[in-house]
Amino acid sequence: MKLKYVIYALIFLGIVYLIYHRISINKKLENSGMGTGAKNAGSSKGGKPQQMTVNGIVVQATSFANKLDITGTIEANESVALQSEVSGLVTGIFFKEGSNVTKGTLLVKINDRDIQAQLQEALTKQNLSSANENRAKQLLQKGAISQEEYDTALADLKSLKAQGQLIRAQLAKTSILAPFSGKIGLRSISTGEYITPTKIIANLLSTNPVKINFSVPEKYMAQIKVNSTITFRTDGSAQIYEGKVFALEPGINAQTRTLQVKALAANTNNELRPGSFAKVSLTLDKVDNAILIPNQAIIPVLRGKTVFISKNGKAKQIEVQSGTRTNENIVINSGLKIGDTVLTTGALSLKDGALVKVSVVK
């Protein structure tokens, strides 16, 4: 056991000796002048600190618009798949595929002969019942019949009138009218075909104006307002279109953490096709006297962000508070003032108080 402790002690003493030996060698090298060369590497022959050449910009107030670029979808202002409410034989098609139709235009007619016959029968019974009710009313006034007998005749008349209204409603369903003005698409039926309510006849779209449907991240929801202006373009055209936000979804989508937004845009020449992708640019906020500096001037530190400015020919590191960042610039909320010269190169090599020669970039 004592031998083991002796070995441990020798190892410890050996480590201490190596450390002492290394320190001694470093001191000798420093005293011999090797350290002096390293010390004066950043100095000129006269012993003066060497000046570092860097680029910089002079801080100016500028107008800044924070824009969000997202993708959306163009939708028709109104869209419907035309279908019949009743089953029957198609007796007439009164629209041309791809044409514009106005609201209330007759598009398709379904065979209604049986319903017309039912209506004539109901009207005949209604006329007879009306005559009976009129005679019963006169007899009641003369006291020839009781009130109960007259009430029965009146109830029969009302029942037949209701039946006639029901048949008229069925008859109206055999005429398919345009619910709104728009452009009708390709039809999928022919005259003489028997159709059911599940059969889609054609699509009717109202495309002026069009809707632009898009989503924005949750963190921007407070900056999205009704009547905000958007710009967008499509893959099929280089033209820039403009629209206005008219509706916001009241809640956030829990799965995507986004807010659904819709805007309206004029489509006078029908250049915008529903279903197309739209590359949307949305202005979130505008600052008239913003301070913008290049992103490369920012130095991340443990407690935030800093930049170097030139003051009296020397670099000075100051802390800044930043805001919105774009691809090239970043907004500075505090820490800089108009007229400061911000250094944009050499940030990682600079030290506080270093001599600098600034080449101002405009």
Q: For 265-281, what is each residue's pLDDT tens digit?
A: 999 888 899 999 999 98
Average pLDDT over the chain reads: 85
pLDDT of residue 4: 65
CA distance 215 to 234: 17
Q: Which residues in 10-41 are b (16+ Cβ under 10 Å) and which e? A: eeeeeeeeeeeeeeeeeeeeeeeeeeeeeeee
For CATH 2.40.30.170, the residue range(s) in the chain are 69-77+204-287
Rounded to whole angstroms, how far apart are CA atoms 236 and 276?
Answer: 9
DSSP string, 83-125: E-SS-EEEEEE---TT-EE-TT-EEEEE--HHHHHHHHHHHHH
Virtual torsion, Cα 298, 299, 305, 306, nearest 10 deg: -90
Superfamily in which the 69-77+204-287 domain is placed by CATH: Efflux pump adaptor protein, beta barrel domain (2.40.30.170)
Residues 6-50 have pLDDT tens digits of 676 667 777 766 676 666 665 554 554 434 333 433 444 455 567
* CA-to-CA separations, 196 to 26, 129, 171, 303, in angstroms, rounded: 98, 36, 15, 71
Share of the chain above pLDDT 90, in %: 48
Q: What is the predicted pLDDT for the residue at 301? A: 86
Average pLDDT score over residue span 313-332: 87
85-198 has which fold?
A: OB fold (Dihydrolipoamide Acetyltransferase, E2P) (2.40.50)
Is residue 242 over pLDDT 50?
yes
Q: Which residues contact 19 (CB under 8 A, 6 or more apart)?
A: none
Task: Considering the chain, tell me which residue range(s) the CATH 2.40.50.100 domain(s) occupy.
Answer: 85-198
Encoded tokens for 51: 């000046």
217 DSSP β-pair partners: 258
DSSP 2: H
> What is the DSSP code string of 153-213?
HHHHHHHHHHHHHHHHHHHHTTEEE-SSSEEE------TT-EE-TT-EEEEEEEEEEEEEE
CA 282 to chain centre: 9
Of 228, 281, 275, 226, the C-alpha closest to 250 is 226
Min mean pLDDT across 125-139, 211-225, 283-297 is at: 283-297
Q: Both tokens of residue 235?
A: 């893959």
Helix (H, G, I), strand (E, B) or coil at 11: helix
Residue 4: count other Cβ atoms within 10 Å of its Cβ: 8
Task: Write the burial class of residue 225 (CB in 10 Å: 0-12 exposed, 13-18 middle, 19+ buried).
Answer: exposed
Reduced to 3 states (helix: H, G, I; strand: E, B; else coil), residue 138 is helix
Tokens of 285: 């906020």
Residue 356 has pLDDT above 90, yes or no: no
Dist. CA 90–CA 81, nearest whole Å = 17
Q: What integer pLDDT is reported at residue 25 of this predicted model?
A: 61
Q: Decide which of 176 and 219 is more confident.
A: 176
Residues β-bridged to residue 114: none
Residues 6+ apart with CB under 8 A from 362: 57
> Which tens digit of pLDDT belongs to each residue from 159-215?
999 999 999 999 999 999 999 999 999 999 999 999 999 999 999 999 989 999 999
Report pLDDT for 34: 37
pLDDT value of residue 235: 86
- Residues in contact with 58: Cβ distance below 8 Å, sequence separation at least 6, in sequence order: 339, 340, 341, 342, 360
Q: Which two tokens stand for residue 325?
A: 């960042």
Q: Which architecture, in CATH terms, is 53-64+288-360?
A: Beta Barrel (2.40)
Give me the pLDDT at residue 11, please: 74
Torsion of CA 25, 27, 28, 33, to 10 degrees: 130
CATH 2.40.420.20 domain position(s) in the chain: 53-64+288-360
Regarding pTM above 0.95, the answer is no
**Could you identify the residue written with the tokens 């039926």?**
189
CA 273 to chain CA centroid, Å, is 18
